[in-house]
Amino acid sequence: MPTSFKNTNDKVKQFSLLLAPLISLLIILFADLDPENKKVTYTFAIAFLMAVWWITEAIPLAVTALLPVALFPLFGVVDGKTISSMYFNHLIFLFIGGFLMAFAMERWNLHRRIALRILLIFGISPGKILFGFMLATSFLSMWMSNTATAMMMVPIALSIIMKLEENLGKKGMGRYSIGLLLGIAYSASIGGIATLVGTPPNLSFARIVSIIFPKMPEISFADWFIFAIPVTVLLFVTVWVLLYLMYKPKKSWKAIQLNEFEMEYKALGKAKPEEKIVLTLFIILAFLWIFRSGFTIQSFVVPGWANLFHNPSFINDGTVAIFIAILLFIIPSKSEKGERLMNWETARKIPWNIVLLFGGGFALAQGFVDSGLSVWFGEQLAGFANVEPIAITFANVSMMSFLTELTSNTATTEMILPILAGLSTTIEINPLLLMIPATLAASLAFMLPVATPPNAIVFGTNRIQVKDMVKTGILLNIAGIIVATLVMYFWGTLVFGIDVSVFPDWAVVVP
């Protein structure tokens, strides 16, 4: 990071650290958003403070996320017991269980074997190498952290790029290495869209919508996967075609051989027993997630395995994730005596800062509901009632996509979703039509290195300039906005049983 940029960033942090609390205090003292309910003003002031500190990162994001625990009880918005319980729930355990499985894959090098195997399957032409890297990255990021996936794939890509440069020369490579690295960054974000555990905004949505609309039918892992996989596929194809056309070498490759990849793969040796067991557990976990509650699309019905139990509603995706995670700590290693598939030393790498960030978003959503602020926001935006729902969706997806270029996508999701919930109840359209596309849009930040960790990781290789990312990313942002909006209206309405013209009973706010 350039020194001048860092100094400017530090000044912004210092400025917001002092100014944001002052403005929040002035709002509390002199603003009266709802004369009949002071909680609305208090919650707005606290939400403003959190928003500014999250956007500027004046203090660590996770610490800002703890503000509701201190401030909501003090101002009488929500009691301390209720707000504290927001920080641990079944979705948090879904996140933790998913991370433990990812760590087990990393510990026994299974993720690297999967990635190289995909590359061997797809071959060594420029288009095939790009496709193979993007497919491996997308698949892994469905289950692992996008950041961890990018961190793992970039060194593999750099080793391949260096081998290509040795055989072809930098002139023969052209700008292909830029396209390959961008493909890894973008497919890490795109792959994460497909599953509830793939990226933090998806989990934030699932919990926030259940807090604000407790009567809404559950959105299970399977429901989300069936809805989101077309988004991932469409964006994947778009990114691959665009990157190939923009960065393909001018001359065909003849010097590079498939054995370059085979040597990398052979260096891993035979699959260890631990790899096979972890892979088996991974497949079982995915199966249990997808088929837990079953799913229905019009007349097509697949029953869920949870119905085999006496109380199927007691079982959720978090239950499944933790059950499999516990098995990782029980099953012994065959190669290393006295070891298990997972140990606590590895498990301690769980990003607790993200866990707290989730909790802060859930707590903020609870404050929006209990205080009446979400309804107040909806009333202020009532002018949108005469606008076509698809136009509103397109506008909010566009806003989210470009806003997350500069801010934390998780923090932005947790600020915006309660506002969209309030808007939907005021203008009486199904909240999912606004909230789901906005959640997808939080992962559609392709233009700047600071937008997502995968973008920053590939930028850190010093092989990409900001102008390359902006030039490519703006086209993908636009494509992503269109895809997210259209898929929601023409596929999401079928998957989630939405009638665009009907306001659902579960979304009606009872005074």
Q: Which residues pair with 296 in a beta bridge?
A: 301
Structure tokens at 459: 């930028």
Structure tokens at 85: 């319980």
Q: How many Cβ atoms are within 10 Å of 426's Cβ, its own excluded?
A: 21
Nearest residue to 183 (alpha-carbon basis) of 508, 468, 436: 468
Q: Give, in degrees to the nearest 5, the angle at Cα 387 between 383 and 389.
A: 120
Domain chopping of the chain, boundaries: 1-77
Q: Which residues contact residue 371 at a Cβ distance below 8 angstroms, ignoring those fewer than 6 apart? A: 37, 39, 40, 42, 43, 77, 78
Q: Give the model's pLDDT for residue 384.
A: 67
Q: Give the model's pLDDT for residue 310.
A: 86
Given a contact cutoff of 8 angstroms between Cβ atoms, the answer to whether 276 and 334 are in contact is no
Q: Which residues pair with 297 in a beta bridge?
A: 300
> Over its length of 511 residues, how does the chain's per-residue pLDDT go in tens digits?
445 545 666 788 888 899 999 999 999 999 888 888 899 999 999 988 988 887 777 888 889 889 999 999 999 999 999 999 888 877 678 778 877 887 888 888 887 787 677 667 877 778 888 898 899 889 888 877 677 677 777 767 777 777 677 666 767 677 888 899 999 999 988 998 998 877 888 888 888 888 888 888 888 888 888 999 999 999 999 999 999 998 888 766 665 566 767 887 888 888 889 999 998 998 888 788 777 766 555 566 677 788 888 888 788 778 888 999 999 999 999 888 888 999 999 888 887 887 887 788 778 878 877 888 867 876 776 666 677 878 888 888 888 887 777 566 777 787 788 888 888 888 888 899 889 998 998 888 888 776 777 887 787 777 888 788 888 888 988 998 999 889 988 888 888 888 888 888 887 765 5
Ordered DSSP codes for 121-170: HH-SSHHHHHHHHHHHHHHHHTTS-HHHHHHHHHHHHHHHHHHHHHHHHH
Judged by DSSP in three states, 463 sits in coil
Q: Give the model's pLDDT for residue 5.
A: 45
Q: Give the model's pLDDT for residue 450.
A: 63
Q: Give the model's pLDDT for residue 327.
A: 95
Q: How far is residue 367's CA from residue 373's CA, in Å, rounded to a whole number?
A: 8
Q: How many Cβ atoms are within 10 Å of 61's Cβ, its own excluded?
A: 19
Q: Give, in degrees to the nearest 5, the angle at Cα 59 between 58 and 64.
A: 110
Q: Give the model's pLDDT for residue 136.
A: 85
Nearest residue to 192 (alpha-carbon basis) of 509, 443, 494, 503: 443
Q: How far is residue 199's CA from residue 195's CA, in Å, rounded to a whole number?
A: 8
Q: How far is residue 64's CA from residue 150's CA, in Å, rounded to a whole number?
A: 27
Ordered DSSP codes for 416-456: HHHHHHHHHHHHT--THHHHHHHHHHTT---S-TTTSHHHH
Q: DSSP E strands: which ranges in 162-233?
A: none
Nearest residue to 44 (alpha-carbon basis) of 476, 428, 477, 379: 379
User: Which spans in 32-125 are helix H?
Assistant: 38-56, 61-64, 67-74, 80-85, 90-107, 110-122
Q: Give the model's pLDDT for residue 17.
A: 92
| C-alpha distance from residue 300 to each of 294, 296, 498 (Å) | 11, 6, 16
